Amino acid sequence: MPIRLLTEEVASQIAAGEVVERPASVVKELVENALDAGARNVMVTVEGGGRHLMRVADDGIGIPADEVELAFARHATSKLSSADDLFHVQTLGFRGEALASIASVSRLTMMTRAAAESVGAQIRVEAGAILQRTSIGAPQGTVVSVENLFYNVPARLKFLKSETAERSHIAALISRYAIAYAAVRFKLVFDSRTVFQSSGSGDVREVLVTVYGVEIAKQLIELGSLYEPPASPPPAEDDEADDLALREPRSTLHASRPTIRVSGFISPPSLNRSNRKEITLFVNGRWVQDVRLSAAVLQAYHTMLMVGRYPIAVVMVALAPEDVDVNVHPTKAEVRFRNYDGAFTAVERAIRKTLTERAPIPHLEARRWDITAGADDRHAPSRWSPDWGLRGQIEPSPVETRPGASLQQPDAQNAQPPLPSDQVPLLRVIGQVGAAYIVAEGPDGLYLIDQHAAHERVLYETLSLQRAAAHIVSQALLEPVAVEVPPDAAALLQSRIVTLNQIGFSVEPFGGNTFLVRSLPTVLGNVDPARAVRVVVEDFEEDETVLAAEVEARLMARVCKRAAVKAGQVLSITEQAELVQRLEQCLSPRTCPHGRPTMIHLSVEALERQFGRKG
Ligand code: ADP
Ligand code: MG
């Protein structure tokens, strides 16, 4: 074939292919336009998973009637004028491609009225061709309806995922934007059912409740909130990078500061997920996918989360627009940082600092037991309170179960002091409670240690250390033990034998579904060999992972869980002291390898308050 210029139609479909990958990309572009237009209300309506209809209505500045047609031309934008502007982009859009692209692969109708105009304009575009333009009475703002996406590109239509998949993509998109733009009211309707709605009050916590539910939202920890610098005057240029204050992305979006600010919400290690889908990153108000920044988030949780577990995090990074290149890809979901290490460190440090100061020990809250109040309000509907997430989840149950006790929320001055670090102070063991918890005294109050979780942590770290040093001490059993597993599990066990043997076991197939255990890692003590080996096949299928290191770490954690002392096991005072001492030496003594807390702390101050001696 001779070389020819592609027709306008083909060229525009090729270009559209880059921007409009799926229905959710249409919604993303339209919502970004609404936000760029300063909308306070954004309503998204989706029918048939986006194939039939996607409509985004906003109350933003609108488009002047005489510019409406131009908005659909490729590379037409009101957001950039010179090439230089590309390096100071402060809006979500800037390429002037979205409307043109969407219109070229759908039937699109736009109704818009600019603030300064008395009548609005309506335009209909099909497969990129403008069919009609009329004047119309309309409220200020813009409504874009996209119907029959890809109707003229059957090949693309075939690649669309299920309606359910598209709906969940769109819902994820809207909820993320609602978190980052808490001052904007979002509403999402699927097939005339409202599935998401935010109030636009500006309260991020409130949006988190809508997105994640009360239980999770109250546990999320605000990033950097401990280091709020003076509210006014606005931060000076020499702000420390760790002086991290929570900022609304809107305000940072338009402010140009040399420092990198990190704000947002993160889960305590005890709240985790089996995949990294809940790590959300915003850079200057733009939702981005960035492998390295996600790695910074994970790095901050290092040793606090078991391998293969991931936190929930919404992290907003704000930096001077010129320090980040947003023009990497047509979907604008990737960015390049001028100083990648800086961004990485800022994120990692902010999270790590918050975690070590806030998350380590669920703190017995210094609630006051008000014996004068008669009413029992324990069953009052739990109202979400903005500071819940800042404290531990453990309820002081002995106090709560007393009849007639009423709990009073502590006021601002009663807020807990920051915890020193993620280490544990030297503790003096006092004794055991309920054959499950060890009571110990530290320089700053009382510690209740879960003996099972603590022992799990100790075993896990010992085994990991030996493994890291490639020196696992194993002990041969007097007699090899035969373990029989169900047939479907045998294949799995067979495939994990190498890993098991790497962590100090000696296991070999013994015909059929039977395996022989010859030795065990010494650190596991007197664990039942059969049970220790069975952990390999028990609930492993469910979230299978391919990474060898993850499999190994998971195996170790499970084996240690099996081997750890149980609740209900009476320990001598020497055993208790030894356990606590070994826990003190752990790198991450405050959580078990599965992320649950090993201890709770009741500070002297809290005790004094409980007894009415103070505050
Ligand atoms: P970009 O957002 O990159 O500028 P688009 O193709 O998405 O490109 O939009 C083209 C132009 O149309 C925008 O620059 C803006 O001026 C106008 N526009 C699009 N959507 C809206 C909206 N919802 N409200 C106001 N103006 C809009
Ligand atoms: Mg746009």
3-state secondary structure 175-195: HHHHHHCCCCEEEEEECCEEE
Q: Coil, helix or strand for 508?
A: strand
Residue having the nearest C-alpha atom to atom 19 of ligand 1:
33
92, 115, 76: which is closest to 36 by C-alpha? 92
Give 250's contacts (C-beta < 8 A, 6+ positions apart). Answer: 181, 183, 285
Please give the distance, rounded to the nearest whole angstrom, from the Cα atom of residue 33 to the centre of ligand 2: 5
Quick one: which atom of ligand 1 is closest to the CA of 144? 23
Give 137's contacts (C-beta < 8 A, 6+ positions apart). Answer: 119, 120
Q: Which residues are within 5 Å of ligand 2 (an ion), measured at CB?
A: 33, 93, 98
**Is 552 near ligand 1, meaning CB less than 6 Å away?**
no
330, 327, 273, 323: which is closest to 297 by C-alpha? 273
Structure confidence at residue 82 (pLDDT): 82
Cα separation, 253 vs 249, whole angstroms:
6
Report the helix count and the strand count for the chain, using DSSP H and E.
17, 26
pLDDT digits (tens, 9 = 90+) for 419-460: 344 678 888 999 999 989 999 998 888 999 999 999 999 999
Residue 93, both tokens: 């859009």
Cα separation, 155 vs 141, whole angstroms:
34
Instruction: Enter the DSSP assignment of 2.
Output: -
Structure confidence at residue 119 (pLDDT): 95
Residue with tokens 């404290």: 391
Structure confidence at residue 546 (pLDDT): 55
**Is 95 near ligand 1, meaning CB less than 6 Å away?**
yes
**Is 97 near ligand 1, meaning CB less than 6 Å away?**
yes
Quick one: which atom of ligand 1 is closest to the CA of 76? 10
pLDDT digits (tens, 9 = 90+) for 112-155: 999 999 999 999 999 999 999 999 999 999 999 999 999 998 88
Quick one: which atom of ligand 1 is closest to the CA of 92? 2
**Is 94 near ligand 1, meaning CB less than 6 Å away?**
yes
Please give the distance, rounded to the nearest whole angstrom, from the Cα atom of residue 72 to the centre of ligand 1: 9
**Is 126 near ligand 1, meaning CB less than 6 Å away?**
no
Please give the distance, rounded to the nearest whole angstrom, from the Cα atom of residue 96 to the centre of ligand 2: 6
Cα separation, 144 vs 433, whole angstroms:
64
State the first-to-last Cα distance of the chain, in angstroms, to the nearest integer: 87
Structure confidence at residue 397 (pLDDT): 31
Cα separation, 331 vs 97, whole angstroms:
10
Residue 593 CA to its chain's centroid (Å): 19
Beta strands in 239-394 (DSSP E): 261-266, 272-273, 279-283, 286-288, 310-311, 313-318, 324-325, 336-337, 368-370
The pTM assigned to this predicted structure is 0.60
Side by side, which strands form the sheet with 279-283? 221-222, 261-266, 313-318, 279-283, 286-288
Instruction: Enter the DSSP assignment of 393.
Output: S
With the most atoms of ligand 1 within 8 angstroms of its CB, the residue from 12, 19, 36, 81 to mutate is 36
Residue with tokens 């998350």: 359
Cα separation, 211 vs 227, whole angstroms:
26
Please give the distance, rounded to the nearest whole angstrom, from the Cα atom of residue 26 to the centre of ligand 2: 10
Residue having the nearest C-alpha atom to atom 2 of ligand 1:
93
Which one of the ligands is nearest to 80 CA? 1
**Is 104 near ligand 1, meaning CB less than 6 Å away?**
no
Residue having the nearest C-alpha atom to atom 7 of ligand 1:
98
Cα separation, 554 vs 535, whole angstroms:
10
Please give the distance, rounded to the nearest whole angstrom, from the Cα atom of residue 149 to the centre of ligand 2: 18
Cα separation, 264 vs 61, whole angstroms:
28
459, 466, 472: which is closest to 592 by C-alpha? 459
Please give the distance, rounded to the nearest whole angstrom, from the Cα atom of residue 184 to the centre of ligand 1: 18
Quick one: which atom of ligand 1 is closest to the CA of 101? 6
**Is 58 near ligand 1, meaning CB less than 6 Å away?**
yes
**Is 33 near ligand 1, meaning CB less than 6 Å away?**
yes
**Is 521 near ligand 1, meaning CB less than 6 Å away?**
no
Which H or E run contains 580?
helix 573-584
> Hey, which residues does 317 pair with through a beta bridge?
262, 283
61 within 8 A of 115, measured Cβ to Cβ: yes
Instruction: Enter the DSSP assignment of 586.
Output: S
108 within 8 A of 144, measured Cβ to Cβ: yes
Quick one: which atom of ligand 1 is closest to the CA of 32? 2
Which one of the ligands is nearest to 99 CA? 1
Structure confidence at residue 615 (pLDDT): 61
Helices (H), 246-387: 249-254, 291-300, 340-358
Please give the distance, rounded to the nearest whole angstrom, from the Cα atom of residue 78 to the centre of ligand 1: 7
Please give the distance, rounded to the nearest whole angstrom, from the Cα atom of residue 169 to the centre of ligand 2: 19
**Is 113 near ligand 1, meaning CB less than 6 Å away?**
no
**Is 37 near ligand 1, meaning CB less than 6 Å away?**
yes
Q: What share of the chain is helix, strand, coil (3-state, %, to 5)?
A: 35, 20, 40
Which H or E run contains 482?
strand 474-484
Peptide bond into 233 cis (omega under 30): yes
Which one of the ligands is nearest to 72 CA? 1
Cα separation, 586 vs 5, whole angstroms:
67
Q: Which regions in the chain score pLDDT beneath 50?
A: 225-257, 360, 362-421, 542-544
Residue with tokens 């980040």: 324
Which one of the ligands is nearest to 95 CA? 1
> Hey, which residues does 96 pair with through a beta bridge?
none
Which one of the ligands is nearest to 78 CA? 1
Residue 251 carries which side chain, given as an amino acid letter?
S
Cα separation, 570 vs 579, whole angstroms:
13
C-alpha separations of 33 from 38, 166, 276, 563 in Å: 9, 20, 28, 57
